[in-house]
Structure 1
């Protein structure tokens, strides 16, 4: 079953919904109401699962080109909306349509060229996206079948088609759906979110031709409106530092297990605790250097698609699986050593006393448990 996965964490929208600014509060409440409605729909309706997708995909030959369809929702809740651009057609005047089209293509090409994967299901699944969803909708999501983008309110969030990593992030929820199918709750849910951040960042890096050292390791850079004190929704390099703003609050992501958030909100803190495995991946990529989608990304891809993960896997189990994947592909060399060191640094495996404060100058990881 596909899950309803949004790029903006509920805790940000909850804070905006309590804003003294009536316009911002109303927009956030509207977004939260629609998100809750979609979550209910996904809970009642099973999407095409891995077996169904395999059967559907087996009938057509795989190609090295995506099959994209972009729709204009025309600020309504009727998905997918009006078809405005299809595969191979020329760019249109609507920049949101063109950005969505390009972002779907860039994500497809990253998975194909880096990992030999044809689309999110591995069998050439057509990629569908709708832009201009509702009025001022402050989110983007994968609903188990397609991508949906809001225009943002223009005061806190801009158009959600702007950051390519947001598109890569959401489509990776589809990849996870068709592979490990990680349960969207607790630590497995945080891993689900983290995997999407990892490959969302790798899609951006691959598209821009950036090395690990050149990458910004931000998720959603360019999404925050002018005047908002922040650089993105999340930072993989320095979790907890992406924003600190009167409207948004302070980024609550922990970089290590010392700041782990335990509670019922956001399916057990899936968008918050994802900072821990996010930081582990950044440490692996940084240690190995070069192009992060190669060795570091390959290890994570092998782990996600290898069939060894339990849907309810926790951080410790995922650490063991990535270590095994590194060993299987690269042997007992720099790769497996980098993976082991990263999980120890973030406090998931033995050596947890090394709280990794030195990795984040000026950041007090133990004080990141306060929700915005």
Structure 2
């Protein structure tokens, strides 16, 4: 669904639903009278929520600083019911530690929020969404036949579905992991929700949503179905899920819902002004890159691939307006830092298979002296003369990477320091004083 424009203090917070607008618009066009009404009401309620949230300013939490918060993990779930109304959060029906309520939607929400907390805490040592023990709040039974689930900036909201096209929105654990990850992104990278940065925002949510499901089921990358929202589509719908990370564009092909429009390669990138620049559509490209990385590395997706993506999400070099190329570059750099060149090159190959080229790192060389440096006007290009390697062009990892790296090399030269460098013949990928 639509998300807010920037509000105070430059914050960007996604108020977005798991069901993308193109699906709801297809229902309004192709569905029967009852289906059209339900889809239109869903769009209306989500737009109303968006406008209400626009009036709130100064509400987003800190970005990278939150990830350094110390303290023991604190799981605190609170599940409410809206009783088919639209007031939030509604009536509290289950709190942390209480037994099952007997209401499937309430209990599924409780379990799904817990599974998301467990992945982030046990694997990534993150203490809830904000890394400071934030309560996990979910409101069930929102609206009448509401065909969506969303993160509104502070809590989860689940519709019951219309029963004809969509089942209840708590039925898919990865949907909860996906939406709660929008909150994690809100507290870390703050990826702007439009065009490629918005598609990265969506993709990161799919990546961690899928890992939540795989972790809860104890599945390896090879065993997982890599579907987002499996079980959400009602009986009779021609489809298996909302999206497929393994094969973007194949999740559904239905007379009412339309055909899955996701591309799996940059050559098929969809340029559109709808859906905030196609954030739910073009996310298929980085989604497949993560799938390919996980399969190539083997084992569980969270063993190495997940840590590479998580470190990239927290990387201070990842700008809020990052493009696919920027994110790909950083995943490769983080892969090399965490696990070495073999894993780094596997990530390179995964991105290459979806049409994004990140040059493979050939060598890692230690303790080379910086003998001379040169930069062109505006720091658009920079070179360093490295002992035994000659002139090497500095490759930027972010829009200001050339400037930052060049300044560092000049400093290394001025103090007669040595540097560690990644080289691939003519390019420095990273350099720092030792």
TM-score after normalising by structure 1: 0.90
* Cα pair 1:73 1:82 within 8 Å, conserved: yes
Structure 2 segments unaligned to the other structure (5+ residues): 1-10, 360-434
Deviations 1:135-191 (A, max 9, x none): 000000000000000000000000000000000000000000000010000000000
Say which structure, 1 or 2, has more relative contact order (CA 8 Å, 6+ apart). Answer: 1
Equivalent residue in structure 2 for 1:317, among 318, 326, 331? 326
SS of 1:46's partner is: coil
Distance 1:282 1:36, change over 3 A: same
Greater strand fraction, Structure 1 or Structure 2: 2
CA distance in 1, matches of 2:175, 2:21: 16
- 2:24 pairs, out of 13, 22, 26, with 13
Match of 1:272 among 263, 266, 281: 281
Cα pair 2:64 2:314 within 8 Å, conserved = no
1:347 to 355, 361, 375: 355
What aligned pairs does 1:56-205 form with structure 2 within 5 A after superposition? 62-205=71-214
The 3 A distance-change label for structure 1 pair 54 and 281 is closer
Determine the C-alpha separation between the residues in 1 that align with 2:109 and 2:201.
Answer: 23
Q: SS of the residue aligned with 1:197?
A: helix
Alignment match, 2:316:
307
How much has 1:54 moved relative to structure 2?
Answer: 7.0
Q: Does 1:215 align with 2:224?
A: yes
CA RMSD, 1 decimal: 1.7
Deviation at 1:327, TM superposition (A): 1.2
**Cα displacement string for residues 204-242 of structure 1 (whole angstroms, at most 9, x for unaligned residues):** 001110000000000000000000010000000000000
Instruction: State how far apart, in whole Å, the 1-side matches of 2:58 and 2:340 are.
Output: 38
Distance 2:86 2:121 in 1: 32
Number of the residue aligned with 1:50: 61
Between 43-52 and 218-227, report the one with greater CA deviation: 43-52
1:243 aligns with 2:252: yes
Counterpart in the other structure of 1:29: 40
CA distance in 1 between partners of 2:165 and 2:199 (Å): 25
SS of the residue corresponding to residue 93 of structure 2 reads strand
SS at match of 1:18: helix
Distance 1:341 1:252 in 2: 24
Deviation of 1:65 after TM superposition, in Å, equals 4.3
Q: CA deviation at 1:306?
A: 2.2
Q: Tell me the CA shift for residue 332 of structure 1.
A: 1.3
Contact 1:9 1:266 in 2 (8 A): yes
SS for the counterpart of 2:201 is helix
Aligned residues of 1:261 and 1:273 also touching (Cα < 8 A): yes
User: Structure 1 CA distance, aligned partners of 2:63 and 2:339?
Assistant: 33
Shift of 1:259: 1.1
Counterpart in the other structure of 1:226:
235
SS in 1 for 2:197: helix
Q: Deviations over 1:334-361 (max 9, x none)?
A: x11111011111012269xxxxxxxxxx
SS in 1 for 2:196: helix
Determine the structure 1 residue equivalent to 2:385: none
Unaligned runs of 5+ in 1: 352-372
8 A Cα contact 1:3 1:43, kept in partner: no
Looking at structure 1, the residues matched to 267 and 51 of structure 2 have their Cα atoms a distance apart, in angstroms, of 33
Mapped partners of 1:7, 1:92: distance in 2:
25
Find the counterpart in structure 2 of residue 370 from structure 1.
none
For the pair shown, the structure with the greater C-alpha radius of gyration is 2
Instruction: Give the C-alpha shift of residue 41 in structure 1.
Output: 2.6
